[in-house]
Structure 1
Amino acid sequence: MAKGGYYAVANGRKVGIFGSWDECRAQVNGYPQARYKKFVTVSEALAFIDNYRLGCTSGSTSSISRASSEDGENKNTSRKRKCSVESSSVASTSELPKRLKNCDPEVWRDAPVVYTDGACSNNGRCEAKAGFGVFWGKNHVDNLYGPVLGAPTNNRGELQAVDQALKQAINKKLPAIVLRTDSKLLINSLDNYMDKWKRNSWKTYDGKDVLNQDLLRSIDESTRKILVKFEYVPGHSGDFGNDAADELARRGAQMYSAQRSM
Structure 2
Amino acid sequence: MKKKTLAFFDKLKSKFPDDKKALSSIDYLKSQIEDWEEEVEEQNSTNGELPLPKEIKSKNAYALFSDGACRGNPGPGAWGMVGQNAKGEVLFKGSGVETTTTNNRMEMMGAIEAMKYLLSEGVNTDSAEVYLYSDSKYVVDGLKSWMQGWKNRGWKKADKKTPENVDLWQELDRISSSFSNIQYLWVKGHAGHPQNELCDQLANEALDDSGF
The TM-score bracket by the shorter chain reads 0.5 to 0.7
Given candidates 70, 75, 78, the residue that maps to 1:131 is: 78
Q: Distance in 1 between matches of 2:150 and 2:211?
A: 30
Q: Distance in 1 between matches of 2:160 and 2:210?
A: 32
Aligned residue in 2 for 1:251: 205
Q: Distance in 1 between matches of 2:117 and 2:171?
A: 13
Alignment of 1:46-57 (within 5 A): none
1:211 paired with 2:164, answer yes
1:240 paired with 2:189, answer no
Q: Contact between 2:66 and 2:196, CA under 8 Å: does it hold in 1?
A: yes
Q: Which secondary structure does the structure 2 equivalent of 1:215 belong to?
A: helix
Q: Distance in 2 between matches of 1:109 and 1:139?
A: 12
Q: Contact between 2:64 and 2:115, CA under 8 Å: does it hold in 1?
A: no
Change (3 A) 1:158 1:256: farther
Unaligned runs of 5+ in 2: 1-39
Change (3 A) 1:205 1:114: same
C-alpha offsets along residues 131-189 of structure 1, whole Å, 9 cap, x if unaligned? 1000226994621100148x511110011111111111111122332111111121111
Q: Which secondary structure does the structure 2 equivalent of 1:122 belong to?
A: coil
Change (3 A) 1:209 1:222: same
Aligned residue in 1 for 2:142: 189
Aligned residue in 2 for 1:225: 178
Change (3 A) 1:245 1:74: farther
Q: Which secondary structure does the structure 2 equivalent of 1:136 belong to?
A: strand
Give the % identical residues. Answer: 25
Q: Distance in 2 between matches of 1:133 and 1:185?
A: 16
Which segment drifts farther, 161-170 or 133-142? 133-142
Unaligned runs of 5+ in 1: 1-64, 78-84, 93-104
Given candidates 66, 70, 79, the residue that maps to 2:41 is: 66
Q: Contact between 1:148 and 1:160, CA under 8 Å: does it hold in 2?
A: no
1:147 paired with 2:101, answer no
Aligned-residue offset at 1:257: 9.6
Aligned residue in 1 for 2:60: 110
Aligned-residue offset at 1:251: 2.6
Moved over 3 A (4+): 73-77, 137-141, 252-258
Change (3 A) 1:171 1:257: same
C-alpha offsets along residues 95-116 of structure 1, whole Å, 9 cap, x if unaligned? xxxxxxxxxx98x553121210
Alignment of 1:24-39 (within 5 A): none
Instruction: With the length of structure 2 as denominator, give the TM-score of the two structures.
Output: 0.65
Q: Which secondary structure does the structure 1 equivalent of 2:163 belong to?
A: coil
